[in-house]
Amino acid sequence: MRLRAEWMTPMDDCVLELLQSAGIILSPSIIAFNLDLRREGVNRRLNELVEYGLVVRVERGKYEISETGEQYLASELDASELEKD
């Protein structure tokens, strides 16, 4: 069972799962399209996930899951123990 932090939303798991399953760098627009979400909301969540180290901003507008994000999805990490960078 994943241990989600209070600051996390259900959308965060969906974004992380998509990044993991894609295995490639994605943009907020592509993530939003594939999850049927608004790009603005995805962008906000990506910024938060980057601040906590679950996602890596490869360059402006391009993201991939981090090793920490992989550990969270595998239930090997309690996200409530993460601190903002």
Query: CATH for 10-74?
Result: 1.10.10.10
- In degrees rounded to 5, what are phi and psi of residue 64? -145, 160
Longest alpha-carbon distance in the chain: 33
- Quote the CA–CA distance of 15 and 30 in Å, as a whole number: 11
Model confidence over 27-76: pLDDT tens digits?
999 999 999 999 999 999 999 999 999 999 999 999 999 999 999 999 99
Q: Is 20 helix (H, G, I), strand (E, B) or coil?
A: helix
- In degrees rounded to 5, what are phi and psi of residue 20? -65, -45
pLDDT value of position 69: 98
Closest CA to 50 of 15, 2, 4, 6: 15
pLDDT value of position 85: 87
Task: Write down the domain spans for the chain.
Answer: 10-74
